[in-house]
Structures are given as structure tokens and as C-alpha cells.
Structure 1
């Protein structure tokens, strides 16, 4: 009995050490390596001009077209020559405004806020409908919340987009919200990591960051991911452990878009019908990990809601913000209740 207690205490010490000490050090290290573009929380005005029809038709994962990016900085508009292509799968098929990826040559980036960002993703609303920008803000909030959860994350920045669409001989203009996402190469450089492109079973990945990721996905009501198949996840090798880094949260319950459907990664259908129904997709690990991450999330509750409040003014519809806040409150109610936590998280953890 004494030996079991000693082993348990040792495990608890290792878990707490792994979470608190290295994570604080990593936070300090990563902040010193963030590119100038993502060092500011101020919304960045930009202007893009292109034919959506031609962009969908002429570009793919490897084919870009020449374009221009205008941005407002230091009290003036500036212009960069860029290369652009569409990206994504679901949004590319279903959305009027396809998400795009930009590539900026070194000579163009020099002495600008984009100097360290060779590639960038641009997230825009999906459809031309009322409240479309609120969906973008909610997805952006998911990224900002994950910044609080794990040091291993993508940096993002809100943008006010003036999109000039070229349609035959006409021009249509849209004023929409969006955000920029840094390239994964920048994340790897920040930590000195390497990308893992092969499949790695989640149980062979680093325990604590996997649990943080799995709790986060449950928090925002997302099932459109797979750590096992690297769907909406990037894997980083870092001195031994493989660490998952999530992205693309538009189909989650926090966002709850009009086009939202319950995503299925794998063969078995999930027992939910709406994206606002949470379903835990994490794997069985030692309860010490689950309890420690539970504690982490509860301790960060005030920071999470402070972050949401910080971006409240960007919502067009106050009720939209209220629903998003209520959704996160629902998650914290589960964490705070032992029965709900055990029934909805611990008991649903997967074997494979």
C-alpha cells in the first residue's frame, strides 16, 4: 500500500511539473518569437481584389495566381504583390467566399509587418447572409481560447476585409470580418519542432497536450477533427513527444453556422444530431491526466471569459455573442459537476 501511494505521488509530481514549469517557460519563449504581424491585437484593415469564380477554377493546393494585398499600417495604405490560391475542402464546396492562402515573396515582405510571414491563411465568412461575420468572430475566439489552453497553437489576427469581387464586367464590394492564421512552418520555427506527416495513434502522442486538445474540442462542441488521421490537426515532433495542434473550427457548436452539420471522421456515426450537442472524442488515459487538465480549464475560466469579453464589440448581433458565451458556460458547468464530468467525459473516453 505504501509503495502504491509513493508511486501515485511521484506520478502526480511529474504531471504537475510537466504542466506548470515547462509550459510557463514555453510561453515566455514563444512570445519572444512571434512575428510582428501577430504581436498586435488591433484589427488590421486589408483589401483583396479577385474573381471568386476564377480563383476556384484556376487554383488548387499547388497552383497560385498573382494578386495584390492592400493593408493599412502607419496611417497609410500599402500594397504587396502576393500569390493566392483557394484552400480547404468543405468550405471550398459549400461557401460563397472560399478560404484562401497567400504567399508573399521575401522582397515584398522586407521591412513590413509581414516580414516573417511567407505564407498566411485568410479565413472569411462562408455565405452572403446576415450575421456571417459573427460566425467568423466566434471561430476566431476558438483560436484565442486555445492560446490560453496550450502554448502549442496557431497565432491569429482579426482583419477588416474590403473584398472587391470581379464578376464579368461588374465589380461587387463586400465589407466583411476575417482573420489571418500563421503558417505551420512559423509554429515549428517558434519551438524548434519538426512536422510529422505520418499517422501517429493518439495514445502514442504526448498525454497532456492530447488531453488539453480533447477537452478543448469538447468545450467548443467540435467533432470535425481526428488526431489519429491528422484531420484538422497538425502534428509536431518536439524532443520526443508528438504534439497535436488543432485548427479549423467552423463546424463546431460554439460557431453553430447555418450550414453546420455533425462531421464524422471514421465509419461509426456519432449519437448526436446537431453541432451544439457535445460529444467527447478523447481517448482513455490515466485519470490523473484528466483531473489535472480539468483543473487547468477551471483555473482558466476567468481568462476565457475575459478573452470573449475583449472581442464582444466586434459582434454585429449581441444575441449571437450571448449564445456563444452561454455555450462555454455550459462546458464549465459540466466540468464543475462531478457526475456530469464522469458521465460525459470520463465514461465516454475511447479505447481506439
Structure 2
């Protein structure tokens, strides 16, 4: 991880599809396939859940999948979900031992696991809708976190505590390595430090999924840029423009989680109400980016259609929400009225 001064110029080109394909060989084994994993996690699940609101202490546990059994350290993670929203917290899985070459978790050190959060039967559908948001950004750009669905059985002292869908998120260092980049550690930055294309695409995507719970130039606390985003930088000497990579989409309209809180300072009344939060200095790029998104509409819709186990009602809701986005960017006039006039 490199540390950079605040003032940096922005000028990185968008990688081509060919470049994205060339990096495919660098994907870690866990994210090399899309099939839903069958995973069993055995450990002090009840204790972790009970203490989650006040503790992220790690506990020894066992992860079993795909014919292998691995020692892990399991802990609650996150902020708002862990402390405010979830009956079952999001988890972090750490692998303290080196894995064999044939292991599905080879090269994994510490990895985030998105869990079902709520215990109701519909909780899995929310997981799938957030998973869908990640897959949509995968369509938009290879500069995105890969994800892997898993059917997880949680066992504590021989008792099955729960069995729910979740998904693993590619670690940011692995995302950077896959792209020939590296993560940047900064306090906060100027919009001028961002790669213009990547920042504009980021803002358009966040509008597409109806997410306002993010920032790409500042974090929630000093030294931690940025809020629900990571910054990547090309490794070449003299490279400048930083790429914001978003994560954590449970507060978005496309997920529509019952616990999601509206940011009233933005003048919206419902998490499904979209609000454009892109920077005005990137407006000149938006017509061409919107045209590209329109050209990719079939790919976006195919990504939704391919989400396994998303039921018909939720699939239709996600598809309809996506359709309303394309109505908002139907042409340059609609783009200007619905998005760019609200730029910052």
C-alpha cells in the first residue's frame, strides 16, 4: 500500500475489455468461478453474535468447503450493520496458516463475508440484491471487487445455528493486484486527484443503484479515505489519477433494506429515491458514459437474470429499478435534467 500526498493530478485511461481479459489469470481461486459454494463454519457463533455490537474480537473457528477443512479466525466486522442494524453481524474470515496450492482459499489472508444480517426468511433476498449490485459494477468496469456466493451453515458446539446465503468480497489488495495497481492510503483528497473517467463512472453507477451512502474523497474518520470506497493507483512511476472502487451497497435503493436510513440532508425521503452526487467538473464526460451504459443495458439485465436464487418478485423489483435508471438517462436532455443539474 502506497501513501500519497493530497494534491495529485488525474489522468488515467479506462482499461479496455481486452486488458480486463488479460488480467483474468490473476484472479484468486475463490473468485475464479461463480458457482454457489457450500460452506460450513464451526465455532463460537453465538458468542460472536451476542458480543458483536461492542466487540470485533477474533475467535478460532473452522471453515469447511470443497473437500477441505481450514482453521480460521472469525470476527464480527463493520460499523453501522454491526452496531445498529443486524441481528447477525457481517463477518471477517482470517486464514492464519498458509494454504496448499490446490486450496480454494489459496492466497487469501483476511476476507470479508457479507451475511444475512436479519434472521427473517426474506433476509437472503436482501443478500442477493446486494450481491447483484456488485455484479452490476463488474459489468460496468473490471476496476471493481469480485464476489462469490456461498450457502453457509453456521455450527456452534454441534448445533446448527443458522443456514443462510452470504457472499465473500475480494480483498482490495487482490483487486489491485489483479489490475496491476495498488491500494492507496491517504487521509482525504481533492477531486482533482481522481481519475476523471473512473470517478465519473463511479458516480453514474451509484446513481444507477440509488446509493447515496458513499464518498470518494473523504472518509468517516481521519486517515481513512474513503467512505465505503477504496482508492487504487497504477504502479507506474509518475502515475497520478486515483481510481475509487465502491463497496457496501445495503443502503442503496436497488437493495431497499428495511433497516436502511435515509440521508435527510440530501433532500430525499426514501432510499429508493435517487440523488446524483457526482462532481460538476466531470460533467463533460457524462454524456459519453451514459451512452456507454445504455449500450450495456442488455449486459446489466443479463447480470440480474443470472443471479441464482433471487426469487421472481425480487428479480422483477431489481429489473424495474434498473429500468427507471435508463429512463433517467434516456438521452442527453434527460441526463442533464435528472443528474447533471444536481452535480456538486
Q: With the length of structure 1 as denominator, give the TM-score of the two structures.
A: 0.85
- Give the equivalent residue in structure 2 for 1:4: none
- Give the equivalent residue in structure 2 for 1:119: 110
Higher mean displacement: 85-94 or 185-194? 185-194
From 75, 80, 84, give the equivalent of 2:74: 84
CA distance in 2, matches of 1:50, 1:81: 10
1:198-277 to structure 2, matched below 5 A, reads 198=186, 199-229=188-218, 230-238=226-234, 239-263=239-263, 269-277=265-273
Deviation per CA, 1:109-164: give whole Å up to 9, x if none.
54211112222111111111131101001100111110111121111111011122
2:287–2:335 CA contact under 8 A, matched in 1: no
Gapped runs of 5+ residues in structure 1? 1-14
1:106–1:115 CA contact under 8 A, matched in 2: no
- Structure 1 stretches of 4+ with a deviation exceeding 4 A read 58-61
Q: Does 1:347 align with 2:341?
A: yes
2:114–2:167 CA contact under 8 A, matched in 1: yes
1:81–1:108 CA contact under 8 A, matched in 2: no
- Ranked by relative contact order (alpha carbons within 8 Å, sequence separation 6 or more), the top structure is 2
- Give the equivalent residue in structure 2 for 1:333: 327
2:153–2:160 CA contact under 8 A, matched in 1: no
CA pair 287-89 structure 1, distance change in 2 beyond 3 A: closer
CA RMSD of aligned residues (A): 2.1
From 191, 199, 205, give the equivalent of 2:179: 191
- Give the equivalent residue in structure 1 for 2:309: 314
From 26, 35, 49, give the equivalent of 1:42: 35
Shift of 1:275: 0.5
1:26–1:151 CA contact under 8 A, matched in 2: no
More helix per residue: 1
Deviation per CA, 1:222-269: give whole Å up to 9, x if none.
0110112100000112132111000000110000011111247xxxx1
Shift of 1:344: 1.5
Q: Does 1:28 align with 2:10?
A: no
CA distance in 2, matches of 1:203, 1:294: 21
Number of residue pairs matched by the alignment: 319
1:144–1:307 CA contact under 8 A, matched in 2: yes
Q: With the length of structure 2 as denominator, give the TM-score of the two structures.
A: 0.87
1:226–1:233 CA contact under 8 A, matched in 2: yes
Q: Which of these two proteins has the greater Rg computed from alpha carbons?
A: 1
